[in-house]
Amino acid sequence: MINIVDKKNCCGCSACVQRCPKQCISLVEDNEGFLYPVVDNEICIECGLCEKVCPILNPQDKILPLEVLAAKNPNESERINSSSGGVFILLAREVINRGGVVFGAVFDECWEVHHVYAEKIEDVYPMMGSKYLQSRIEESYKDAESFLNSGREVLFVGTPCQIAGLRSYLRNKNYSNLLAVDFICHGVPSPGVWRRYLAEAYGGYDANEQSRLQAAVGKNTVWYQSLNAKSPIGDIKFRDKTMSGWKKFRFVVRSKSASKADKNSVLSSDIHSDNPFMQGFLSNIYLRPSCYDCKCKNGVNHSDLTIADFWGIQNVASDFDDDKGVGLVLVNTQKGKEYFDLLGMDVRKSSLEIVHQFNGVFCKSVNKHPKRSLFFTLISDKKTIKEAVYICSIIPLYSKILNKFKRLVKKSVKYILGDMGIKIIKNVLNKKI
């Protein structure tokens, strides 16, 4: 049976929960706000299915992409409201028009994220855009299997570990009517931290009431106080490009009465690097433990297509960059190529080397923030998310001086030796030659 001893060995995909024939596995939130499977030993029949469908326990071999492309949806409106160059909405429309079903992540009524399926294109629109949270898969693998077995086409979009979980749940059966799409993932921040951040920033969080609850039933209740019924939130965009463009995207929260004509509908609007939640996320302070040692990256989840934003496009194809968003597409299978070729996107050929240069998290995990434990201690001691992120982000003076020295040395070496010299030195230091 599934028994999580080291939390870095659970990505939270929920394949074990959905495959259990006795339904004796439930997901329980820990004191960091992440969900983990817990087995009811009295009901468990020890069939071992939960272990057989775990993508961490059953890793697959890496596959290399057939093609690497820069891509843009020719519809600028769709691209402005999308991530990854607007690839997803074109894929979804193709599958819907063929009578298929699309699975993706949407906000729920509390502004947390879960997976749902859509059979009409208007139900696909809420799936568009980045949502920097771990989505609850819930019953989506079961639902997808049911649609696949009935002969309908299924587009399933998720993080690398969610696609690995889907493949494992399906026992790696090669369904010709399944198109599995993942995206290059930085890591997933804590849903519990997000819940509390929203409550603190937009109403509903009461530190004194939280302390009373903690004293009564334990520290885990720090995660269960969410937005109250009077929350003003009507829309959240993690990647709003309408104000500052694609590269300086903004974190924007709008009120329930939001409309394009109502300029007062914006509750908050921050350049992503200035927003406290995004700062903590991008600094790797509160990612899931498995994200620091991800076992599902670099082609091992066998997705048909991998999509992402083509960061660095201005350095390799500046004429293709209009600051409205350029997508990076890794075509991993022949099936993925057949679907992608139907979309009519504007494309440029690229290479895996460029992916590694500008989208390094495709093949390697991010480093854990050295003050991660301190962050969770701070918010347990009544510090707000904003305060805790600020405290953990303070860089000591000696580190600032050292970092500045390193940059000067690197700049000097590059000036003297050029890019090739830098590459040779890196290879020597990494003992590659």
| Cα 405 → chain centroid | 34
Q: How far apart are CA 194 and CA 21, in angstroms?
A: 33
CB 134 within 8 A of CB 12: yes
Q: At 348, phi and psi to the nearest 5?
A: -135, 140
**Sequence-ordered alpha helix ranges (H) in 98-202:** 140-149, 160-169, 191-202
Residue 429 tokens, joined = 């230091």
Q: How far apart are CA 97 and CA 230, in angstroms?
A: 39
Residue 104 tokens, joined = 């993706």
Q: How far apart are CA 60 and CA 63, in angstroms?
A: 9
Contacts of 92 (CB under 8 A, 6+ apart): 102, 104, 118, 121, 124, 127, 155
- H or E element: which one contains 215? helix 207-217
- H or E element: which one contains 414? helix 397-429
* Secondary structure class of 177 (helix, strand, coil): coil
Q: State residue 218's pLDDT score.
A: 46
Beta-bridge partners for 285: none
CB 252 within 8 A of CB 240: yes
Q: Tell me the pTM.
A: 0.86
Q: How far apart are CA 236 and CA 197, in angstroms?
A: 13
Dihedral, CA atoms, 154, 341, 311, 295, nearest 10 degrees? Answer: 40
CA distances 303 to 80, 178, 333, 357, 407, Å, are 25, 10, 8, 21, 38
Dihedral sign for Cα 411, 413, 415, 418, please: negative
Q: How far apart are CA 132 and CA 190, in angstroms?
A: 10
CB 257 within 8 A of CB 365: no
Q: State residue 213's pLDDT score.
A: 47
Q: What is the mean pLDDT of each run of 10 residues along the chain (433 residues)?
A: 93 96 95 95 95 95 96 90 89 97 95 97 95 95 98 98 97 96 96 93 64 47 50 89 83 76 75 93 97 95 96 91 91 97 94 92 94 96 95 74 69 66 61 47
Q: At 324, phi and psi to the nearest 5?
A: -110, 0
CA distances 141 to 71, 82, 281, Å, are 29, 25, 27
Q: At what angle do helices 385-393 and 372-380 cross, to 10 degrees?
A: 150
DSSP 8-state code for residue 227: -
CB 187 within 8 A of CB 292: yes
Helix%, strand%, coil% for the chain, nearest 5: 40, 20, 40
